[in-house]
Structure 1
Amino acid sequence: MANVTTPQKMLRILDLIEDSPIPVTTEVMLEQLGFTRSTLYRHLKSLSEAGLISSIPDTGFTFGPRITELDYKMRLRDPLISAARPVMAELAKSEHGVALLCRRYRDRVLCIHQEAGDISFRSNYERGLARNLFRGAASRIILAYLSPATINRLYAKFPGEFAAAALGHSAAAARQTLRQIRQQGWEVTEAQVTQGVTGIAAPLFDMRGDILGSLSLTIKAQDLTPTNRNHLIERVRFCSAIIRTAIRQD
């Protein structure tokens, strides 16, 4: 513990609160984190004063109002969201689905923006919801563009998840499957996250050509037919290209 810096200790507190379905008491923190009581109280005071956490009497600690404020400012100022919002709105409206903008976060994928075009259809992949890298088109297209070293690390950590998602029963097989997805430049999955729902995704890249995230269109499974399949795939890829161009111009 002596080598853990103060910022790292604070992040561990936030991680513990994030992973808990209920407010976290100081006693649970002491047990889980191994901090001394004085160290824990000092960091809780700093995080509380910053508004990042809040205490509920006789209940424990949860996230504070500063988190909500930061989320609001992110939605206003994030250049990726700003570039994608009008494109996503038009895509969702014209194709009667839900457009999702996702980014990789640690070893998972996070939805950072959603646009719905059909009030009769809703996606349960809401903004702020994290999912794994292995299921759903929005996640798998990001996974496909990660480096071989990163894929090897992920396979060593999650071999069962790779196998369950039909990505391969070895690191080499997983890399081959992901190479095929990368070569075609898009991914389509059906009912991998939600029954009766199909996802179509294309990658988004930063200025250096590294994977930044994904744009996906979620529709009812019956709305994807042999007749419109290629059209929808190309629409998502075209919209992804527009967003990439807008980011470069900014």
Structure 2
Amino acid sequence: MQRHERLIQILDLFSQEKPNWELEEIHTALGHSKSTLYRYLKTLTDAGLLTTFPGRGYSLGSRFVEFDYLIRVTDPLIRLAGPVLTQLAETNACVGLLCRRYSDKVLCVFQHTATTKIHSSYERGKARPIFRGAASQVILAHLSAYQLNRLYTPNAAAFSEARLGDDLAGVRQSLSAIRAVGWHATEGQVTPGVVGIAAPLFDERGDITGSYSLTLPAGNVTSEDIRTLGVTVAGAAQEISQTLKKAPAS
């Protein structure tokens, strides 16, 4: 394993469930020698990626906050899709979510809330499995056959629990149906009592990069409302994807 991979391996230990790590805990988790860990931790601390406090061990550093600001003000997807999503959320009194594919996860990168009737647990910066919810499944539907096969084998139970199919053939059929419609809706898969309506977003190469979605109280929408909003969300997502293709590289 290369040095940079080991540095990332350390950063990957930190989570909401365990935000602080002592040296001994990192040593136990990763198995590197303590002298090597000291060097790696000093490198990460000097770069502002980690910080340390007496009695708390190491935690993520302030440089991530700086990076977060840069992403919010420079990410072309957020700059293009954010205002449109905000307007849609306000018009329909719901929660608008902009998500990016991130490894085998889906990460919320922008949220606008225009209702007090629901609270989406899909907050900015929070990653979710790629199997559950409209915002995730509409991305899953546009992965390549190779990517889907790689995901399916270790996650067959998750696909079944998300009602996508009990075998690979069934999953392919479900995802093909999502692609054919151009948008996707689910109820209660991520947050109980809500309906999510999502459409895919594509980058300048035409590859799936994320999703564009609205979340509404389930009791307030009919099947016709869902269909109408699905077409609206899909149309907005298509326009944003086309703009991304035309945008000059920065």
- Structures share fold, TM-score greater than 0.5: yes
- Distance across 2 between alignment mates of 1:237 and 1:119: 25
Cα drift, residue 93 of structure 1: 0.6
2:102: which partner in 1? 105
CA RMSD of aligned residues (A): 1.3
2:148 alignment partner, SS class: helix
TM-score, with length taken from structure 1: 0.95
1:245: which partner in 2? 242
1:158 alignment partner, SS class: helix
Deviates more, 1:131-140 or 1:165-174: 165-174
- Matched AA of 2:176: R
* Pairing 1:47-196 to 2, within 5 Å after superposition: 47-196=44-193
1:197 aligns to 2:188 (yes or no)? no
Deviates more, 1:29-38 or 1:10-19: 10-19
Cα drift, residue 229 of structure 1: 2.4
- Distance across 1 between alignment mates of 2:173 and 2:222: 27
- Distance across 2 between alignment mates of 1:121 and 1:165: 22
1:215 alignment partner, SS class: strand
1:33: which partner in 2? 30
Unaligned runs of 5+ in 1: none
- Distance across 2 between alignment mates of 1:101 and 1:131: 13
2:203: which partner in 1? 206
Unaligned runs of 5+ in 2: none
Deviates more, 1:95-104 or 1:227-236: 227-236
Cα drift, residue 117 of structure 1: 2.1
- Distance across 1 between alignment mates of 2:56 and 2:72: 31
List per-residue Cα deviations over 1:185-239 (Å, max 9, x = no partner): 1110001111110000000011121101000000010222134222111111111
- Matched AA of 2:57: G
- Distance across 2 between alignment mates of 1:149 and 1:176: 16
Seen in structure 2, the aligned counterparts of structure 1 residues 163 and 78 have a Cα distance that, compared at 3 Å, is same
List per-residue Cα deviations over 1:10-62 (Å, max 9, x = no partner): 00000112375241110011111111111100010000011001112122111
Count of equivalent residues: 247
- Matched AA of 1:231: T
- Runs of 4+ in structure 1 off by over 4 angstroms are none
1:230: which partner in 2? 227
1:7 aligns to 2:1 (yes or no)? no
Asked if structure 2 preserves the Cα contact closer than 8 Å seen for 1:111 and 1:129, the reply is yes
Seen in structure 2, the aligned counterparts of structure 1 residues 209 and 249 have a Cα distance that, compared at 3 Å, is closer
